[in-house]
Amino acid sequence: MNLRSRTIPRWRHALYAMLAVAGAALFGAAGMAQDEAEAPARGAPPLAMVSTITGAIGPATARQVADAVASAEERRADVLILKIDTPGGLVTSTREIISSILESDVPVAGYVAPAGGHAASAGTYIIYATGIAAMAPGTNIGAATPVSIGGMPGLPSPGETPARDTPRDEDSSGAGDGEKPASAPKSNEDAMAAKATNDAVAHIRSLAELHGRNADWAEEAVREGASLSAREAVEQGVVEFIASDMGELLRLMHGREVVTAAGTRVLNTEGAALTEIEPGAMTKLLAILSNPNVAFILMLIGIYGLIFEFSNPGSIGPGVIGAISLLLGLYALNQLPLDYAGLALILLGLALMIAEAFTPSFGVVGLGGVVAFVLGGAMLIDSDQPEFQLSWGTIGGTAAVSVITLVLILGYAWRAQRKPVATGSEEMTGMEVEVLDWANGEGHVWAHSERWRARGPHSLAPGTMARVERLDGLTLILSDAPTVHE
């Protein structure tokens, strides 16, 4: 007993020692494997990711930049380069892009390219938001004056100096020497224009101060629509340098300090590997839907589909297509600067055209609907960018289709519903039939080119005409008719 009790603990100690050795070996092997896996990464060249922005800045562009920033952070890229060539775009989308850039942990560089490209209007704000800004030869930047559809009243045109207050004529005003001239009261439109301009100036100046760029010229670009060539932009401290291609851009950026959301970082871009970030499927779909012409047509298809479904319950197809199209159209319009007065006019126009189809008024109501529809289409998108405005071709074409569709097709469907029933017992009630044979109040009649059993007055005789009162199963119940068959 004593020998056995001393032997068991020794085996346990030996087992524990073996397990400890095995565990240490496993951890050591795992560490070596991790070191081997990280060794190629440490020896790999720096990573520079590129996202190309072309055309007008809109919801799709905002999503593209947000996705690019997320991808660059996920892959721990050394720099994200936004290659920009844009005429400008929507203010809301521009602010979303700037927020994505400023909140990025990865340094973001702005590069106006290719030669002949420009970073106008919204593009200027985006360039000022990036940590490093460069331009290709033959490009330009500026013209960042905020305007609304048709131009914002009260804002000076590019190159035009805002009017200053001038002293009033003493003879006409009666003001004595030393009196301050009174300024004319500003209209609401002028006040709104001044607020928009001052807000834009404060925004771009804050971006300039964040990265140590020329804030005075930025204000000039907003207030007076000033523009600069690539060389002038470098001379005036708007961008850091001119780069003819991506290789030169990476070489010139190397070693510069950049402010990011994670703090100041020194760029390591010498010989960096370039990776292009392609827009995702949702971004491409949003780019299509954010076209106001596409969104407008989808909305109309949705409205027409639902109207046809309500006019012909059970058809299913038009209702399903209409619901999907309407939701897509409304989603797309919600991404754009929508003028709700324009939307209300479009809906009013459609309602008036439907009323014309159901209750003809010799075109008065329908004509009013067309006018409201066209005016609403012209006002629907509140933007100065042609890419985000409804084309007159789309407005005119959809107005014509609406008139034809709603007046002719819906009018025909409505009149068809009001016609007498052409089948079933309801159709036979009241029709006249010819008596073929008759005895004791029953016999047979001829109706719809068929021989029917019938019951009715005893006075009926073969060859006479009778009127159907109702059906009792497959038997016609008759009454006397004044017409006699010759």
**CA 245 → CA 242, 249, 286, distances in Å?**
9, 6, 30
Superfamily of domain 424-484: Nucleic acid-binding proteins (2.40.50.140)
Lowest mean pLDDT among 99-113, 214-228, 230-244, 452-466: 452-466
pLDDT of residue 172: 39
405 vs 285, residue with greater confidence: 285
pLDDT of residue 317: 80
130 vs 310, residue with greater confidence: 130
pLDDT of residue 345: 87
Alpha helices (runs of H) in 130-245, residue ranges in sequence order: 170-173, 188-211, 215-224, 230-235
The span from the CA of 189 to the CA of 201, in Å, is 18
pLDDT band at 214 (very low <50, low <70, confident <90, very high): very high
301 vs 10, residue with greater confidence: 301
Q: Where, residue-wise, is CATH 3.90.226.10 in the chain?
A: 47-161+191-279
pLDDT band at 335 (very low <50, low <70, confident <90, very high): confident
CB 177 within 8 A of CB 169: no
The span from the CA of 203 to the CA of 144, in Å, is 12
Residues 261-273: tens digit of each pLDDT: 989 999 999 889 9
Most confident of 8-22, 47-61, 411-425, 469-483: 47-61
Q: Which amino acid is located at 259 in the chain?
A: V
Most confident of 145-159, 244-258, 343-357, 369-383: 244-258
Q: What is the CA radius of gyration of the chain?
A: 40
Q: 90-100 b/e with 16+ CB inside 10 Å = b?
A: bbebbebbbeb
Q: Is the dihedral of CA 238, 243, 244, 246 positive or negative?
A: negative
Q: Does pLDDT of 160 surpass 60?
A: no
CB 221 within 8 A of CB 159: no
pLDDT of residue 32: 46
Residues 406-418: tens digit of each pLDDT: 666 666 666 665 6
Q: Which amino acid is located at 349 in the chain?
A: G
Is domain 47-161+191-279 in CATH 3.90.226.10, yes or no?
yes
Mean pLDDT for 266-283 is 90
Q: Does pLDDT of 9 surpass 80?
A: no
The span from the CA of 331 to the CA of 317, in Å, is 21
pLDDT of residue 73: 94
Mean pLDDT for 103-125 is 94
- The token pair at 171 is 């003879």
The span from the CA of 295 to the CA of 299, in Å, is 6
Q: Where, residue-wise, is CATH 2.40.50.140 in the chain?
A: 424-484
Q: Which amino acid is located at 205 in the chain?
A: R
With 0-12 / 13-18 / 19 or more C-beta atoms within 10 angstroms meaning exposed / middle / buried, residue 121 is: buried
Q: Is the pTM of this model over 0.85?
A: no
Helix, strand and coil content of the chain, in percent to the nearest 5, comes to 50, 20, 30
- The bridge status of strand 273-276 relative to strand 227-229 is unpaired
